[in-house]
Structure 1
Amino acid sequence: MTDKENLMSYVIAFEADGSAKDVTRRYTKAYTSKTRRWRVENASEGGERWWHKVMKSYQKIVPDVLDQIEDNELVGVEAREPMPRNVQDFKDHPIYALERHLRRHEVLIRDAKPSGTISAGRGMPLEKIYRRRDVKIARTVDKWYRMGREVLPNEIPAKWVPKRAQPKKSRYDDDREDEREKDDAGMPIYTIDQTEQYEAPPVRDGKVPKNKFGNIDLYVPSMIPRGGVHIEHEQASRAAYVLGVDYAPALTGFSFKGRQGSAVLNGIVVAKEYEEAIRGAIEGLANMEQEAEIEKRRQTVLRVWRKFIMGLRIRERVWAGVGEDERMEAEREAEREAGLDAEIEDAPSDVTEEFDMVTGDDDYNDEDYGGGGFLVD
């Protein structure tokens, strides 16, 4: 597995009916600890889902008994694979994990029990090996809040994450700010076991609770306050304003462009008893907009017809004192002039084009003939 040009990363078995199956685990020695690292499942975040989708198109519609036996065999081969023997193979291992390989927001549960020990080399201290199932994802208070959860009171952080270093805005910034950041302990993060589902203040007497910006945080559907309803429509706020109903714009996330973020407002939250009235008002506003658009088109058509009719009337007034024969003669003359103009535009240009004269005598030399167009006696 050390030769990058000769890796058995994929072994696909095909049958006579065109179906196929991934049997790489049967022919590799260390599929989980070594081969898996070179496959698409480990290369990107959605790699495993993508590969499953690809192989699903080659599966049999109705698997037979042999397919089930083969699947159980492959699962058993992967389960019987021994524990890795070097530290590097523990990185991103699906079954085992070392504390040194934990990511920034990964922590071990409090009662995690080691499954063994390993040393990075002779004379190096032993490191405990843990099960991957004992590794949990930890997040900050704000991150949990945006997922619809809040940290329980008096909870001890599972880990303190150091703040990321931020570059100075200019060379004139005060260095004392950097010293304060270094002295800061960092950001506390918590596991999901230390949180509970967030429950927003309820709607009372038709009044919707709002934050200091006049909105309501609604990152996930579970954050809708009790007694309220989320109406997702671009005309919802206008309908509530027309009806005089108390409402709060729903803040569903943030849109980032570069380093600047802007709030994303999607619909409104109102008391549930006003939902039917709001939706009826939205439908009425939509009908009014449709009628306004139809009226706008009608006015445009009338304006065009008015201009056309006025042009016809002006033409009739101009030709009112002219006889029929004279009018026909004038029209024919106008047609002839139009045809003449077209012929002039299509006629070839009489401008002489410059070109280089080429003689057939390759031995021609200006000095033999005096040069400059003059003959020398």
Structure 2
Amino acid sequence: MAGAYKDHHLYALEKWLHKNQTLHPKGPVLGFCKGHPVYPRSCVQTLQSRHGWLREGLQVRENELAAKVVTRPKRTFNAQSVQSSGNEDGLKPTLDLYGEWQLEPLQLPHAVNGVVPKVAKRLGIDYAPAMVGFYYCSGRCLPVFDGIVVCTKFKSAILEPYAEEDERRRAGERKQEAAQALSRWYQLLCSIVTRQRLKDSYKTPSHGLGNEGLPENDNVHRNTRSSGSSEREPSSSKLQTDDDHEHEFPEENQSFDVETFVRTKRCPCGFSIQVEEL
């Protein structure tokens, strides 16, 4: 029966709370279940570490004691031991968790004498990378940096050169895109010209070839009667054999394979030839 209180939307037992949850305030007691006091679900508070609350723009007030101390998972602790995340929660086997009632809005330090804290100098103006959010990778929460932070008095000195540099960058990108487009058009035209030249070079006349296109024996008629013949014969609408039968290949009896560029021509008598077209 006590298991029914696990993740119940109205009631809660302290024994079924998650690792990052606690009761605050711890009351009122609504009843008992197998000796365990039952609390309203509204008393359950979610806890986070100092670094976790910072991601939400909040900080723990001074002299606040941790609402709960938990043990880090061994895998997470080993990973942070190899590569520390740079915050005060790292390199400790335990983790201090704090509740929302122990927080206050994040108060960032102000610039002193025109110098932004933790900056690198660039173009003679002090600046700091601007953190705009977080993303998760391999189970870790990593910051996302985009842009810079400078003092207000340097705003104009930064924006004007940035606009000029951005315009130069865009002009370079447009020039590169135009060069790539011109190169692709050149390749396409070269391919078309080459294809047409090959078609003109290997194109056969449409009139009959007579007996000069066939061997002297009559094996050709028997060996090529099958439609699956792989022999390549010249493309023609008529073909004269040595038994005085003139093969005709009407257009309705022709098929073309677009993948292999092979045209199959069939005579009403059953004879067929295959011609590779370029």
**TM-score normalized by structure 2?**
0.55
Q: Are 2:21 and 1:106 aligned?
A: yes
Alignment of 1:311-350 (within 5 A): 339-343=200-204
1:201 alignment partner AA: P
Aligned equivalent of 1:147:
56
CA contact (8 A) 2:29 2:37 kept: yes
Question: Hey, which of these two has a bigger chunk of strand by percent?
Answer: 2
Aligned equivalent of 2:163:
283
CA contact (8 A) 1:160 1:185 kept: no
Distance 1:297 1:99 in 2: 64
Computed over aligned residues only, the root mean square deviation of the Cα atoms, in angstroms, reads 4.2
User: Which of 202, 220, 239 lines up with 2:110 in the alignment?
Assistant: 202
* Cα separation, partners in 2 of 1:275 and 1:257, compared to 1, 3 Å: same
Aligned equivalent of 1:128:
37
CA contact (8 A) 2:77 2:93 kept: no
Q: Are 2:129 and 1:249 aligned?
A: yes
1:191 alignment partner AA: G
**TM-score normalized by structure 1?**
0.42
2:56 alignment partner AA: M
Gaps of 5+ in 1: 1-85, 120-125, 170-183, 216-239, 304-334, 345-349, 356-377
Distance 1:336 1:115 in 2: 92
Distance 2:72 2:7 in 1: 24
* Cα separation, partners in 2 of 1:133 and 1:168, compared to 1, 3 Å: closer
Distance 1:336 1:141 in 2: 74
CA contact (8 A) 2:130 2:149 kept: yes
* Cα separation, partners in 2 of 1:265 and 1:100, compared to 1, 3 Å: same
User: Which of 267, 277, 292 lines up with 2:147 in the alignment?
Assistant: 267
User: What CA deviation, in whole Å up to 9, does each residue of 1:261-285 have, x standing for no partner?
Assistant: 7653111111122223322222212
The structural deviation recorded for 1:93 is: 1.6
The structural deviation recorded for 1:113 is: 2.2
Distance 2:37 2:60 in 1: 30
* Cα separation, partners in 2 of 1:140 and 1:291, compared to 1, 3 Å: closer
* Cα separation, partners in 2 of 1:103 and 1:259, compared to 1, 3 Å: closer
SS at 1:160 equivalent: strand
